[in-house]
Structure 1
Amino acid sequence: MATPLITRQGYEKLQQELDHLWRVERPEVTKLVTWAASLGDRSENADYQYNKKRLREIDRRVRYLQKRLDTLKVVDYHPDQEGRVFFGAWVEIENDDGEKKRFRIAGYDEIFDRKDYISVDSPMARALLKKQVDDDAVVKTEAGTFTWYINAIEYQK
């Protein structure tokens, strides 16, 4: 089960998605379903079938977002976090080969469509939590054990 944490920006993005689905997309698709249904035989009406399916997808996503937003805990930046890796931190790491990575530790709901976010539940994030600049983090995965060095830690304030 994913840890129910989210950054303020992630929470607002999910709120906007829910609002858009409920106030914009759903009414438009409902009108299309009504129009297509008025044309007659629904069994062979592609417009009706497609839009009815889209309406079910919207309703499913709306239900998910409503439930998920109720269970999520928004984690805001706090000055006590400065200098250590905690939820919401932007972290730059480097390995012995000189390969660098920069990403933000975020909630499960925020990582989709973002290459620069990792889940707080990932092995990398777990290994980095509470570390400081110049500390090394040993990351154990199914592919093996890797050592990364922390170069920088930043927070969006």
Structure 2
Amino acid sequence: MNKAFVRESDGDDEEELQAAPSLPAGTRNYITPAGHARLRDELEGLVKRERPRIVDIVAWAASNGDRSENGDYIYGKRRLREIDRRIRFLTKRLELAEVVDPLRQGDNDQVFFGARVTVADSDGNESTYTIVGVDEADAAVGRISWISPLARALIKARCGDAIRFQSPVGPRDLDIVEVRYETID
């Protein structure tokens, strides 16, 4: 059967299934100044450098004739769809962004967005987490999203308080050892 009459997947469906972190309905996209700058820089790089470069490759490949077996054309078009999807995502996130500078909290011992919180479990093991925006979260370096269960349990608590939250392994109790606000890189 002719390929024109058959819809074949080009692998994009898998990427579309991987949903980006979602925000609670009706909320702003709280983000630190550094996180906002990273998103803005990524958007600018895609729009001003990456997309024009791929458009040139696709135009060159299209001028070579038969597009059905032209790898540069096929993969270039796929990459353009990926770039356009990311541009739309970043544009929407930046439109909703509300930049919150942690340094404006001053010398506060209460946990809010941008706080770096040191907690201790019942065995005395300490961990430090920074509460950041959804698009900045990276558990490997201790950055947790403000909508995560741990961050929600920490918000409005004070140094010396004990909190309980539902972790993936069950309920956990933590004591807040230190709360500080500093520039987030």
1:79 to 75, 89, 105: 105
Q: How far does residue 134 in structure 1 lie from its aligned partner after superposition?
A: 1.7
Cα distance in 2 between the residues matched to 1:113 and 1:94: 17
Question: Deviation digits for residues 84-103 of structure 1, max 9, x if unmatched?
Answer: 11001111111012222212
What residue is the counterpart of 1:33 in the other structure? Answer: 58
Cα deviation, 1:31-50, whole Å, max 9, x if unaligned, reads: 11111111111110111111
Alignment of 1:2-151 (within 5 A): 2=23, 3=27, 4-77=29-102, 78-79=104-105, 82-112=108-138, 115-141=141-167, 143-151=169-177
Root-mean-square deviation (CA, aligned residues, Å) is 1.8
* Structure 2 length-normalised TM: 0.78
Deviation at 1:113, TM superposition (A): 7.9
CA distance in 1, matches of 2:130, 2:82: 30
Amino acid at match of 2:131: I
Q: CA deviation at 1:82?
A: 1.5
CA deviation vs aligned residue, 1:77-129 (integer Å, no higher than 9, x gap)? 32356211100111111101222221211111111585321111111001111
Q: Provide the C-alpha distance between the structure 2 equivalents of 1:114 and 1:35, rounded to a whole number of angstroms.
A: 42
- Aligned CA distance change for structure 1 residues 50 and 20 (closer, same or farther; 3 Å): same
What is the distance in 2 between the residues matched to 1:112 and 1:41?
44
Change (3 A) 1:30 1:112: farther
The structure 1 segments of at least 4 consecutive aligned residues displaced by more than 6 Å after TM superposition are none
What residue identity is the alignment partner of 1:129? Answer: I
Q: CA deviation at 1:141?
A: 3.6
Gaps spanning 5+ residues in structure 2: where?
A: 1-21
Alpha-carbon separation, structure 1, partners of 2:142 and 2:181: 14
Q: Secondary structure at the match of 1:138?
A: strand
**CA deviation vs aligned residue, 1:65-85 (integer Å, no higher than 9, x gap):** 112111121112323562111
> How many residues were matched structurally?
157
Could you say if the C-alpha distance between residues 13 and 33 of structure 1 is closer, same or farther in structure 2, counting changes exceeding 3 Å? Answer: same
Whole-Å Cα distance in 2 between the matches of residues 12 and 93 of structure 1?
29
% of aligned pairs identical? 43
Unpaired runs of 5+ residues, structure 1, are: none
Deviation sequence 1:125-145 (CA, Å, 0-9, x none): 011111122211111245321
Q: 1:114 to 1:146 in 2, by over 3 A?
A: closer
